[in-house]
Structure 1
Amino acid sequence: MPHFAATLRTGLCATVLATALLGLAGCVVISPFGGHDDQLRETTVQGDGDSKILWLPISGFISDAPSRQAFGLVQQQSTLATVTRALDKAEKDDDIGAVVLRINSPGGTVSAADEIHARIQRYHETTGVPVIASFGGVAASGGYYVAMAADTVIAQPTSITGSIGVIIPSVNAKGLLDKLGVEDASYVSAEHKDIMSPLREASPQERRIVQDVIDSLFARFVSVVKAGRPNLDSNHLAEITDGRIFAADDAKRLGLIDRIGHIDDVLALARDKAGVDEARVIRYYRGRSAPRSILAEAATGSGMNFSAAGVPIDLSVDSNAGASQPLYLWQPPGAP
């Protein structure tokens, strides 16, 4: 019997290792631990009553591309897909009296933030349901952009927000390549086809081209902020939009947010806007395990969980990391 158990463990380890290696190689892997459950379900995490408040988390890097975990074995929906599916489901539920966007994000891609902003606006216009943005620890750049679709913005006393601006991450490795005796031998169809190549220095004309793109996207960001924050202190607009971050009290002083409060304050406002004294706070989730509280992470219902000595290991792989694309993102110095 011990020999059988040891053999089973060895076989299981070999299966996990093989599937991991296939995932790293870019192959399509079917998890040996069960199928994928993609149905969107509802669970009550707090409160009572017939009326509902939808608690909709928007966390981490905002993207329109799916992310992968566990060496690529598990694929999770993009932020855009998650928000879109939730709002599509919410549109069909007349019992929802308010939506709370719980934003804890430094931002992400320009296109994803803009599309999520538009989707939230469309939901509000279609249903008339009030939308509240509740800031967690960080709601900066693209995270703040998304919040501009809400009727009311509430930040925690310790929230960091702002970072209104655009960045296209790039590096110039030409000096290093010169030391290694390596030179760029790319073939292009026209002189600007390899614009922003890390293998060579950018020409002044190329810098102007890229800057024009950034300026256009930045102008859109500012217009979205002005539309979402009509009481913004216009005398401090240059300060507000120079990319800096703000603590909650400064954000309120400048008109970037409406209130400062905690989760209980957010839910009290949501009930007030819904016109009810009591309501059930609901969350949507996929998979077999429902989140048990407002702030609990929802399970995906597929793939494998890795841990060492009982401590979960995050094996997430962000497909957007390092990409040379325009970002509404607060990126602290030294961040990957």
Structure 2
Amino acid sequence: MVPVEKTVSGRDKDKILVLPIEGIISDDSREGNIFTGEKDSVLSSVKLQLSYAMEDPNLRAVILKINSPGGTVTASDIIYREILEFKKKKHVPVLALFMDTAASGAYYISMSSDYLLAHPTTVTGSIGVIMQGINVKEGLDKIGIKDQSIRSGENKAVGSPLEELTSEQRKLLQGIVDNLYDRFFEVVKTGRQKVKEGDLKKLADGRIFTASQAMKHGLVDGIGYFEDAVTVTMRLPGYKMTPGNANPRVVFYSHAKEKPETFYHIQGFSPESPTLLERVGFGANRVRFLYMFSP
């Protein structure tokens, strides 16, 4: 089913697409969203919207409306790459507008943008990797529950909440986390070239920042609101305005019947937050490496 294009503001032929990236970033399919009205994931939703945008001859730019604490390492990386490839083929600028939260994997994705604009109350940063988990072995031992898993090697169940990590296993997992962090750091270094590498290394320790703090450290380019985002986008290098199109239409894609009246009604795919049990190791995927702010 082809989505309906809806206009938020503007009246001219030129268009600026608002592409929402909200909630936990992953390739997990959950129940409906305003874009498809059916099961989908953040990853597939972004990919699908970019494919429609690619075919629009009147598209002049994209605004990523980001409100996310991050998510899985792979989904964050794929979306980052998809946006870079879109820019390369479509030759249009992309601006990232941070809403409440644009942390970790969401910040990673924003490195594909040409300009980062944060709301005055945005929380961002959290540059780092986490592998969440707890150990319940002692508690289960006390009530007589034993793990009887059969495995082919001592590291086959590494990270299981049912057994203690050995020092060697901890070293193994730390090596993976460090390697994934190195990739994150390189992506941010490429995206924030005005920040000295030494300074960036100090900032990229997992801490979060307010909008004004991020601006001070060079982690964002500006602070403002939706109207500012449209104005800044039209001034970005690569924005090719058609003569007489000084008031471009700001649009988004949707299958929903309701028609939002303002930019702030636009919602993307926002899956439910993982439950505590899912986060600590009892979900379908026990061990997950995350680019996610998750205190």
TM-score (norm 1): 0.78
The one-letter amino acid paired with 2:25 is I
Q: What's 2:122 paired with?
A: 159
Q: What's 1:286 paired with?
A: 255
Is 1:295 the counterpart of 2:264? The answer is yes
The one-letter amino acid paired with 1:288 is K
Shift of residue 233, structure 1, vs aligned partner: 3.4
SS in 2 for 1:210: helix
Is 1:186 the counterpart of 2:124? The answer is no
Is 1:271 the counterpart of 2:243? The answer is no
SS in 2 for 1:176: helix
Aligned pairs for 1:51-70 within 5 A: 51-68=14-31
The one-letter amino acid paired with 2:265 is A
The one-letter amino acid paired with 1:227 is T
Q: What's 2:282 paired with?
A: none
**Residue number among 116, 139, 158 corresponding to 2:79 in the alignment:** 116
Aligned pairs for 1:1-336 within 5 A: 38-68=1-31, 76-273=39-236, 274=239, 275=241, 276-297=245-266, 316=272, 321-322=278-279, 323=285, 324-332=287-295
Which whole-Å CA distance do the structure 2 matches of 1:54 and 1:44 have between them?
9
SS in 1 for 2:31: strand
Specify whether residues 194 and 64 from structure 1 end up closer, same or farther in structure 2 by C-alpha distance, changes over 3 A only.
Answer: same
Specify whether residues 318 and 78 from structure 1 end up closer, same or farther in structure 2 by C-alpha distance, changes over 3 A only.
Answer: farther
Which whole-Å CA distance do the structure 2 matches of 1:317 and 1:146 have between them?
19
Contact 1:291 1:298 survives alignment (8 Å): no
What are the superposed Cα offsets for residues 83-125 of structure 1, whole Å, 9 maximum, x if unpaired? 1011111011111111000100000010000000000000001
What are the superposed Cα offsets for residues 40-98 of structure 1, whole Å, 9 maximum, x if unpaired? 221111111010000111001011111137xxxx8531111111011111011111111
Which whole-Å CA distance do the structure 1 matches of 2:271 and 2:87 have between them?
36
The one-letter amino acid paired with 1:130 is P
SS in 2 for 1:77: coil
Shift of residue 179, structure 1, vs aligned partner: 1.2
286-295 or 106-115, which moves further after superposition? 286-295
Contact 2:23 2:271 survives alignment (8 Å): no
Shift of residue 287, structure 1, vs aligned partner: 4.0
272-281 or 213-222, which moves further after superposition? 272-281
The one-letter amino acid paired with 2:247 is E
Which whole-Å CA distance do the structure 2 matches of 1:297 and 1:325 have between them?
30
Higher relative contact order (CA 8 A, sep 6+): 2
Contact 2:24 2:271 survives alignment (8 Å): no
Which whole-Å CA distance do the structure 2 matches of 1:183 and 1:205 have between them?
23
Specify whether residues 133 and 325 from structure 1 end up closer, same or farther in structure 2 by C-alpha distance, changes over 3 A only.
Answer: same
Contact 1:285 1:299 survives alignment (8 Å): no
The one-letter amino acid paired with 2:13 is D
Contact 2:80 2:112 survives alignment (8 Å): yes
Shift of residue 181, structure 1, vs aligned partner: 1.4
Contact 1:140 1:162 survives alignment (8 Å): yes
Which whole-Å CA distance do the structure 2 matches of 1:208 and 1:160 have between them?
32
Which whole-Å CA distance do the structure 1 matches of 2:268 and 2:130 have between them?
32
323-332 or 198-207, which moves further after superposition? 323-332
319-328 or 208-217, which moves further after superposition? 319-328
TM-score (norm 2): 0.88
SS in 1 for 2:17: strand
SS in 2 for 1:277: coil
Could you list the runs of 5+ residues in structure 2 that have no partner in the other structure? 280-284
Larger Rg, first or second structure (1 or 2): 1
Contact 2:20 2:268 survives alignment (8 Å): no
SS in 2 for 1:98: strand
What are the superposed Cα offsets for residues 234-276 of structure 1, whole Å, 9 maximum, x if unpaired? 3322321100001111111111111111111101112333335
Q: Identity rate of aligned residues, in percent?
A: 38
